[in-house]
Amino acid sequence: MALRHARTARRAALAALGGLVLTGLPSVAAAGLPPTAGLAPGAARPLGGDADRPAAQLLGALRRDLGLTEAQASERLANEAEAGTRAGRLRIALGERFAGAWVHGTASENLTVATVDAGDVPAIEAQGATASVVRRTLSDLVAAKAKLDAAATRVQILDTPVWYVDVPNNRIMVQARSQAAGTAFVEAAGLQDSDVGIHPTTDSPRLMQDITGGDAFYINGTTRCSVGFSVTGDEQQGFVTAGHCGAPGAVTTGYDRTAQGTFQASTFPGKDMAWVATNDRWTATPGVKAQDGQEVQVTGSVQALVGAAVCRSGSTTGWHCGTIQQHDTSVAYPQGTVGGLTRTTVCVEPGDSGGPFVAGAQAQGVTSGGSGNCTSGGTTFYQPVNPILSDFGLVLTTTAQATTPAPAPQDGGGQEWTEGRVYEAGAVVASDGVRYRCLQSHQAQGAWTPAETPALWQRG
């Protein structure tokens, strides 16, 4: 009980981080696509009071790691939340011509949306975004990367450890030990050199094997990982973490070395995801460990854009921040290839594996691996959380939940909006007889019905 009481007191000492301004965005987006929705610094923001203010620990880490002032850090989070909704609307409007979106600028004050059709430029600029006319659609880039993923199952790839869709530069990038190694991998995939950039690097991503999630936990009494996010599955409480931390059936103990739980499912390689069901001594909370023993509170799992700020908690190095560089990255670890990872500038060290990444108040993923360290800096990859929730039928524990919904089946059956289901951007649902399209990938919660959350859903 001492553990529960300590956690409760710690959570009570810190107000909820808020809904990544999702609760305020309807006032901006309710009228559809406003003709003047720019992100000019100092513009009015849909922040609704203390409940919507980011936690001091989050702002402090952004100031430290990104060199921001407090005002810039707050402005950045508001801009990124607003940009995500507008990018989602433009993605739907452009359809197959859409070639990606990203934020940039000290406070993420600039949103750029790419298209393959110059005729889309006026519509993009009317939404306060910068238009970029490029050669390849996002669908084309994803298809090209899929060829590299397929080639990785046939050829030796230890000399080409990382490849990803580079949205801002409208290309596929391969990081390789040498130009020759990169070229050989590209040719094995049936791609042309002009389609893929090759970046020679000495970086060698590795799994953070000896680690916890925010807090530490131990697997079979030996190796250490980090707890990711609290979840509920099959009416059992627990948490998600990295798949390389343990196999199904592995027994865990908590940071205090007391009995904790058992790995219920684990996928690695291919993906890097797992979940642990805990015993009744442990209570699922929406908290993520930040600085000085404090916590920030998770309110959902809305996926952030490339360029957005993101922070990570780990049992070895604590709380650190950086930016998202690319989604849908494939990494060839010595133990096998993992696809669908997100690449970031956040530092990491052994023992941080499985720990949580958050953007504002939104859960993003769990630490997989990386290169470098928190002294000289480095690159870190995380396994996005929404696929974990979807694959394992889990419900994320958040501050917004009045009740814990049953995990929704992810078989795609039916289009009725369902609490607990993971929706990808572009998905179509019906709610109260009205058709909606998803703007940003997330797990549905009771408070986020399509009619009440235009930041996530577009009517029609």
Q: Which residues are catalytic?
A: 244, 272, 353
Which helix (H) or strand (E) segment is 364 a member of?
strand 362-373
Residues 141, 122: Cα–Cα separation, whole Å: 24
* CB contact at 8 A, 145 and 341: no
Residues 93, 238: Cα–Cα separation, whole Å: 39
The encoded tokens of residue 238 equal: 């627990």
Q: Which residues pair with 278 in a beta bridge?
A: 261
* Burial call 240-249: b when 16+ CB within 10 Å, e when fewer: bbbbbbbeee
Q: Which residues pair with 407 in a beta bridge?
A: none
Q: What angle do CA 134, 140, 146 make, to 5 degrees?
A: 140
Residues 350, 373: Cα–Cα separation, whole Å: 9
* CB contact at 8 A, 353 and 367: yes
Residues 123, 170: Cα–Cα separation, whole Å: 20
Contacts of 44 (CB under 8 A, 6+ apart): none
- SS3 call for 313: strand
Q: What region, left, alpha or beta, does residue 396 occupy, with left being phi > 0 and alpha being psi -120 to 50 degrees?
A: beta
Give the residue from 302, 288, 284, 266 showing the smallest Cα distance to 355: 288
The encoded tokens of residue 85 equal: 């909704």
DSSP 8-state secondary structure symbol assigned to residue 57: H
The encoded tokens of residue 261 equal: 């739980």
Residues 186, 197: Cα–Cα separation, whole Å: 9
142 phi and psi angles, rounded to 5 deg:
-65, -40
- SS3 call for 229: coil
